[in-house]
Amino acid sequence: MNILILGAGQVGRTVAQNLASEENDITVIDRDPELLRLLQERLDLRTVIGHAAHPEVLIEAGIEGADLILAVTNSDETNMVACLLAHVLFKTPTRLARVRDPHYLAHPELFTLRTIPIDHIVSPERLVTDAIAHLIDQPGCLQILDFIDGRAQLAVVRVLAGSPMMGQPLHQLPQQVPGLACRLVAIYRRGQVIMPEGTTRVEAQDEIFFLAAREALSRFIGAFHPSQAPYRNVMIAGGGNIGKQLAERLVGRHRVKILELDAGRCRELVENLDDDIRVLHGDAGDADLLREEDIASTDVFCALTSDEEDNIISAALAKQLGVRKTIAIVNTGGYIDLVQDYAVDIAISPAQVTIGAILTHIRRGDVVAVHALRRGAAEAIELTVHGDHRTSRVIGRPINRLGLPAGTSVGVIARQGQLLFPHHDTRLAAEDRVVLFLADKGQIHSVERLFHAELNFL
């Protein structure tokens, strides 16, 4: 696929890194020659220096032959104009754009073929807000992802001493959660992936990846993680778009405070937010202020400012002062590996959260959803099975005979409104929606080819 990426910021670089390794022709446009130089040194792609919404720059970048344009500059307006030019002047088939300003997002009627022709809008702020809200709703999880229209969820849980399944073989799990079904798709132990079997024994610090129905998720989490009381008190450091949206999501079910350094922004928040949300003017790195606000009785501290170093420091301070769980936005991949589990309980990368939404529209075949896992090294995808016995390689075959690549497993099947958590002899049918886990995302094309229906298959 010939893909044009506008913007070499964190999201643009992450997308380029993911796609350049998948036999795509990538060109990146940005005004910063140094960013482009660093990108070209690391990846096999073309770069063009210039304004991403200027026709002559787009032509130089090869837009006339592009299959897809991905506008992810830091300017919503530039992204929207670029998509307009791509449609009107160059007839680019598919146009994705990052739009962050909630004032634009509140008017979906803006984004039509006759107005601003964006096929798919990507809003990192909304995606990050959703990710954090899921983590607050389910204590004990490192990551939660929605599939099958939110009816099934993939959860990542770290096993702690004292959990019911600690030291037990996996075939004991039904005794811990009787009457409910789930599907374990992977265990990561000391950085290595293990494909789970019934005889696999659970060890402390294992990261368990499993799929379950939304309503059953908490029961399975409890089997691998000591039971925790629900989170009630949440403090948010940073009253920007993400902090504001998260507070709006949580109010009514949680007691929410926002700590914001900018006095003018504090006034805006007070004027626009529910009266039950307390807005405080101050520095999240001020230990005395945190103590005054009874940080030790806070369940979750979310560091969501635009400065990742401030987020790391304030989250580490809150953790030291006794908060139960800390979540911080961290953009730099090297920082995430350094601080997670030490200074910060859960580090969230907006670029990694966003990449799944983008890949959903780039993956070939009948892909419904894509989520990146393990810093982008693994993926979970949802796709629809099409064809029949004559045209499909998978319909009618038991899943243990599908020829899935190593490290790939089927997690859940949605069929005629029911969720099926498959066994080795479960057979796929036409129009099944299937969620697969890939420990190695480099196998994605093999999976796409396997599930692609072809008229001349037989």
What is the pTM assigned to this prediction?
Answer: 0.87
Q: Which of 375, 326, 70, 124 is nearest to 240 (CA)?
A: 124
Q: In angstroms, rounded to a whole number, what is the distance separating the alpha carbons of residues 109 and 104? A: 10
Q: How remote is the C-alpha of 47 from its chain's centroid?
A: 27
Q: In angstroms, rounded to a whole number, what is the distance separating the alpha carbons of residues 221 and 441? A: 25
Categorize the per-residue pLDDT at 457 as very low, low, confident or very high, splitting at 50, 70 and 90: very low
Contact (CB, 8 A) for 50 and 29:
yes
Q: What are the DSSP calls for 70-120, one per residue?
A: EE--S-HHHHHHHHHHHHHTT--SEEEEE---HHHHT-GGGSSTTSS--SE
Domains in the chain and their CATH numbers? 2-122 (3.40.50.720), 140-224 (3.30.70.1450), 233-348 (3.40.50.720), 359-451 (3.30.70.1450)
Residue 426: other Cβ atoms inside 10 A: 17
Categorize the per-residue pLDDT at 389 as very low, low, confident or very high, splitting at 50, 70 and 90: confident
Q: Which pLDDT does position 372 carry in this prediction?
A: 83
Q: Which pLDDT does position 290 carry in this prediction?
A: 94
Q: Residue type for 64, please? A: E
Q: Which pLDDT does position 364 carry in this prediction?
A: 62
With residues binned 3-state (H G I as helix, E B as strand, rest as coil), the percentages for the chain, rounded to 5, are 35, 30, 40
Categorize the per-residue pLDDT at 333 as very low, low, confident or very high, splitting at 50, 70 and 90: confident
- Give the pair of three-digit tokens for residue 441: 């995302």
The residue to which tokens 């983590």 are assigned:
135
Q: Which pLDDT does position 426 carry in this prediction?
A: 94
Sign of the Cα torsion 369, 215, 213, 347 reads positive
Q: In angstroms, rounded to a whole number, what is the distance separating the alpha carbons of residues 50 and 447? A: 37
SS3 (DSSP) at 158: strand
Q: In angstroms, rounded to a whole number, what is the distance separating the alpha carbons of residues 174 and 361? A: 37
For residue 456, pLDDT beyond 60 = no
Contact (CB, 8 A) for 305 and 265:
no
Q: In angstroms, rounded to a whole number, what is the distance separating the alpha carbons of residues 19 and 7? A: 15
- The DSSP symbol for 256 reads E
150-191 pLDDT, tens digit each = 999 999 999 988 899 999 999 999 999 999 999 999 999 988
The residue to which tokens 């990551």 are assigned:
143
Q: In angstroms, rounded to a whole number, what is the distance separating the alpha carbons of residues 337 and 331? A: 11
Mean pLDDT lowest for which of 12-16, 184-188, 340-344?
340-344
The continuous run of DSSP H or E covering 372 comes out as: strand 367-373
Categorize the per-residue pLDDT at 455 as very low, low, confident or very high, splitting at 50, 70 and 90: very low
Q: In angstroms, rounded to a whole number, what is the distance separating the alpha carbons of residues 220 and 204? A: 16
Average pLDDT, the chain: 91
Categorize the per-residue pLDDT at 458 as very low, low, confident or very high, splitting at 50, 70 and 90: very low
Instruction: Count how many residues are written for the chain.
Output: 458
